[in-house]
Structure 1
Amino acid sequence: MLTLIKNVECYAPSPMGTVDILIANNAIACIDANIAINESLVDVIDGSGLIALPGLVDSLVHISGGGGEGGFHTRTPQMSLTEASLHGVTTVIGALGTDATTRTLPDLLAKAKGLNIEGISAYCYTGSYHLPARTITGSVTDDIALIDCMIGVGEVAIADHRAAEPTVQALAEVAAQARTGGMISGKAGIVYIHTGDGKRQLSVLHDVVNETDIPASQFFPTHINRNQSLLDAGITWTRAGGVIDMTTSTNEQFIEEGEIPAAQAIAYCLSQGVPASQLSMSSDGNASLPVFNENGALVGLEVGKVGSLFAAFKALVLEHNVSLKNAISVVSTTPASKLKLHHKGKIKVGCDADLVLCDKASLDIVHVLAKGKQLVKDSIAVVKGTFE
C-alpha cells in the first residue's frame, strides 16, 4: 500500500518546508521536495495549503473507562477509536486509576489490543493508583518485560486523599522493578505519577531521587497544572532532570478553583526557561473529573475528553504564540521520547506513518493517517471502531 502526500508544509517537528511524503505500508518511505512516481500506482493526498505534523501521543487515557468515585453508576465509558482519530491522536497509553477493583488489567490490555487492530497504536501501564501494584503476572518487572504493549507502571497516586500515601521505600521499589523490566525489554519502564493537590506535592519524588540511585527520569508526573504552587514545584522538578505533564481535560469549576489551563501552564513554563523537551500534555481522556467538597465528599462528576489534547495544542499556537516546533514537541515528540516510542513523535524516514494534516491558518484537522492508513479524510472519520 503506497500513499503520496503532495506539496505539504512539513513540521517534523522542526520545519522542513514544502515537501512530498511517500508512505509505504505503515512507515514513511521518502521525504523529498518532489517525489517522482507514477501517481496511478499510489493514493494521492493533496497537501496544498496544509501543514503536516506527527500524530499526537497521549500518555494518559483511561481507554477501558475510569471513574466510580460516586458509586457503580458513575463508572465512565470506554474510549472509542474516533474519539482519538478525529482529534489527531494516533498513539494512546492506557491506565487504570482509582478503581482497580471493577476495572482490571486484563480488560485494559484487551482494550489496547483492540485499538491496535482498529487502527491506532495503543500501549498501557500495569498497576493503578495504589501500591503495592496490581499486576497480571504477579510482578511489575515481568509485566513490563513480557507483555508486549505494557511499557511502565501507573498511574501511581501521590499527594491525593485517594492515594495510599506511598513511602519513599515503596516508590523506590516499584521504580526499580519498572526500571529493570524496561532494561530487559528495551522499553521505558516509566513510573507514571498521578499528582493530587495535597500539601506534599512532589516532595516524595525528590526524596526518592535524593535518597536512592533512582534517577528523576524514571518518573513521569502528571496533573502538574492543578494550581500555581504545584506548577512552580513542577518547574523545580524539571531542574532536577525530570519531565512534567499537564492535563488538558478540565471544567469551569476546576479553573475557578485555581487550575491553570494546560496550554497556559506550558506557555508559563517555557517563559521560565523550561525546554519543550521536558514538557508534555495529556488528555486524561475518559477519566472522571470528580469535584469534591472541603470534606472530601464527591459533589460532581464529569468525563475527560481525548479531544482536549488537540484543542490545547491549538491554543498553544494560536493564543499563546508558542512556535509550532515547540507545540508539536509538547503533544508528540516529548512524550514519545520519554516513553521510548522511538518510531513515534516525528516525521522521519523509517518512522511510523502517523500524520495529522491541518489547515495552515486555523489548524483545523483535515486528514489523519495512523500506521499508514487514512482514518480521517476531509475532517470525516472514514474508519470507525468495531461498535461505532
Structure 2
Amino acid sequence: MIHIKNAHVYAPEDKGICDVVIEAGRIIYVGEKCEISGPFNLEIVDLQEKYLCPGFIDQHVHITGGGGEGGPETSTPEIWLSELTKNGVTTVIGCLGTDGVTRSMARLYGKAKALENEGVSSYIYTGAYQIPLPTLTGSVKSDLIFIDKVVGVGEVAISDHRSSGISPEELARIAGEARVGGMIGGKKGKVHLHVGDGKKGLKIIYDAADYADIPLSQFQPTHLNRNRRLMKESFEFGMRGGYCDYTAGEEVYDEDEVTAAEAVYEALKAGVPMDNLTISSDGNGSLPVFDSQKRLVGLGVGSVSALLKSVQAMFFKYKIPLEIALSTVTKNPSTIHGLKGKGEIKEGWDADLVVLNENLEIESVMAKGRWMVRKGVLEVFGTFEKH
C-alpha cells in the first residue's frame, strides 16, 4: 500500500491539498488528511503540496516507428518504455502511418503488448494512411469487436498527397464500420484522421457525415495546427461536436504553423468546448518537410516530450487554467476513446500518476501503482534498454 500525503491534486479538476491511497494498482482513497496503520507494508510519500495529476495519455504515437518517405533508411525506430515514462506518459495509443506495409498491424499489436508487459497501458488503432486499411481480422468492425487493444481506426489520411484520395463515400463506410463495431465491442470506435495541408481541409469529413448521417463526434482529425487556415477550420468543427486534436510542440518550422498551446488558446477563445480539445505528440513519427512540388527536402522525428512542453506553455504563456491544460492530455482523450480507469484521479481508477513541481517539471511517475520514475530517476526500463 502507498499513502501519498499533502498532494495538491489536479484530478484534473483542482481538488486542493489531499491524501491519496493506492492499493494493488488502484486508487482507493482521495480526500482529506488520513492516517493508516495495520499489519501490512506501507510506503508513505509526503509531496509537500507538489502537484499530483493523472498520468498523461498520448493518443497518437508511432510505437513501431514511422516514416519511410525518403526510403528504408528514413524509417524511424520503435519507442522505448523509458521515453514514455520519463515524459509522464502512462497510457499510449499506437498507430501506423504512411507505411502500412513494412510496418504491420500484427507488429503494432505485438509492440503494444510488449509495452503493457513492461509497465504502461497501451492501445492501438486499426488501419493506416491508405485504403484498403490494413487490419488484424479482415475488417475494421471485427477488429473493434474481437481485439482487446483496438479502440478506434487510424490514422487515415485526408487532404494529403500521401493519402489514397479517399472519397466521402469511402470515409463514410469506414466511419460506419467503426461506429457499429464500437457499439458491439463496447468501445467508442472513433476515426482518427491525419489531416495534411491540402486545400480541401476538413470538407471530406462533413461530406462523409452528411452522406451516412453519422455525427461529427465519430471523427477526431489531428495535426489541426499545421497551418492557421486549418486551425481556424477546426474551431467550427469543434463547435459542431467534432473532436479536435492538435500536435504537441512549441517550436514551429514554418511561419504559418501554430504551436499546440496557441491552438488550444485560440480554440477556447473561439468558443470550442474544452472537452472537445486534445493534444498528442506524434511521437516517433517522421516529420517530413516537402517543397511546393511535394518533394521531400527534410526529415525530423516526433517526441513524446512535446506533450509536457505544450502543457507548460498553455499554463505559463497563455494563462490557461491548469485543469484545462491537463485535461487535454488526461481526461479528454480518456473520455473520447473510452479508456476505462484512465485520465482522472478517482477512487477505483488506475493509479497512473505524475508528480510535478511548481515549474510543472516532472519529478515522479507512477503507472498502475508502480513507480516508474522517482525524484527524477528512472526506476523501470524496457527489456532491452541499457541502464
Same fold (TM over 0.5): yes
Tell me the distance in 1 between the aligned counterparts of 2:328 and 2:250.
Answer: 18
| Partner deviation per Cα, 1:310-335 (whole Å, 9 max, x = no partner) | 11111111111110110111111111
Q: Indicate if the aligned counterparts of 2:239 and 2:273 stay in contact, CA closer than 8 A.
A: no
Contact 2:176 2:212 (C-alpha < 8 Å) held by counterparts = no
Select the residue among 335, 338, 342 that pairs with 1:337: 335
Q: CA deviation at 1:378?
A: 0.3
The match for 2:380 among 376, 379, 383 is 383
Q: Following superposition of structure 1 onto structure 2, how do residues 119-134 of structure 1 map, counting pairs within 5 Å?
A: 119-134=119-134
Residues 305-384 of structure 1 correspond to what in structure 2 (within 5 A)?
305-359=303-357, 361-384=358-381
Aligned equivalent of 2:14 = 15
The answer as to whether partners of 1:250 and 1:289 remain within 8 angstroms in 2 is no
Quote the residue 2:81 is aligned against.
Answer: 81
**CA separation of 1:112/1:288 partners in 2, compared to 1, >3 Å: closer, same or farther?**
same
The one-letter amino acid paired with 1:37 is I
Task: Give the corresponding residue for 1:279.
Answer: 277
Q: Which amino acid aligns with 1:22?
A: V
Shift of 1:239: 2.0
- What CA deviation, in whole Å up to 9, does each residue of 1:7-40 have, x standing for no partner? 1010111111111100111111011212211287
Q: Deviations over 1:101-149 (max 9, x none)?
A: 1111100000000000111111001110012211111111111111110
Q: Which residue of 2 aligns with 1:169?
A: 169
User: Do the aligned partners of residues 226 and 252 (structure 1) sit closer, same or farther apart at CA in structure 2, a change above 3 Å counting?
Assistant: closer
Would the aligned equivalents of 2:252 and 2:259 in 1 still touch at CA under 8 Å?
no
Give the partner amino acid of 2:23.
A
Gaps spanning 5+ residues in structure 1: where? none
Q: Find the aligned partners of 1:89 and 1:311 in 2 and give their Cα distance.
A: 13
- SS where residue 329 of structure 2 aligns? helix
Relative to the length of structure 1, the TM-score reads 0.97
Specify the code of the residue in structure 2 equivalent to 1:386: T
C-alpha displacement of 1:214: 1.1
8 Å CA contact 1:187, 1:339 repeated in 2: yes
Structure 2 unmatched runs, 5+: none
Indicate the RMSD between aligned Cα atoms, in angstroms.
Answer: 1.2
Deviation by residue 1:332-351 (Cα, 9 ceiling, x = unmatched)? 11111000113111110011
How many angstroms apart in 2 are the aligned matches of 1:377 and 1:208?
A: 48
What is the number of residues matched between the two proteins?
384
3-state SS of paired residue (1:174)? helix
Change (3 A) 1:222 1:371: same
Residue 60 of structure 2 aligns with an amino acid whose one-letter code is L
Match of 2:64 in 1: 64
SS at match of 1:59: strand
Matched-pair contact (CA < 8 Å) for 1:132–1:170: no
Judge conservation of contact 1:115–1:121 (CA < 8 Å) in 2: yes
CA distance in 1, matches of 2:231, 2:123: 27
Q: 1:221-236 counterparts in 2 under 5 A?
A: 221-236=221-236
Distance 1:15 1:96 in 2: 36
Q: Aligned ranges for residues 101-250 of structure 1 at < 5 Å? A: 101-249=101-249
Distance (whole Å) between structure 2 residues aligned to residue 318 and residue 206 of structure 1: 35
Identity across matched positions, percent: 44
Distance in 1 (alpha carbons) for counterparts of 2:109 and 2:169: 28
Q: CA deviation at 1:190?
A: 1.1
Query: TM-score, normalized by length of structure 2?
Result: 0.97
Q: Whole-Å Cα distance in 1 between the matches of residues 231 and 331 of structure 2?
A: 21
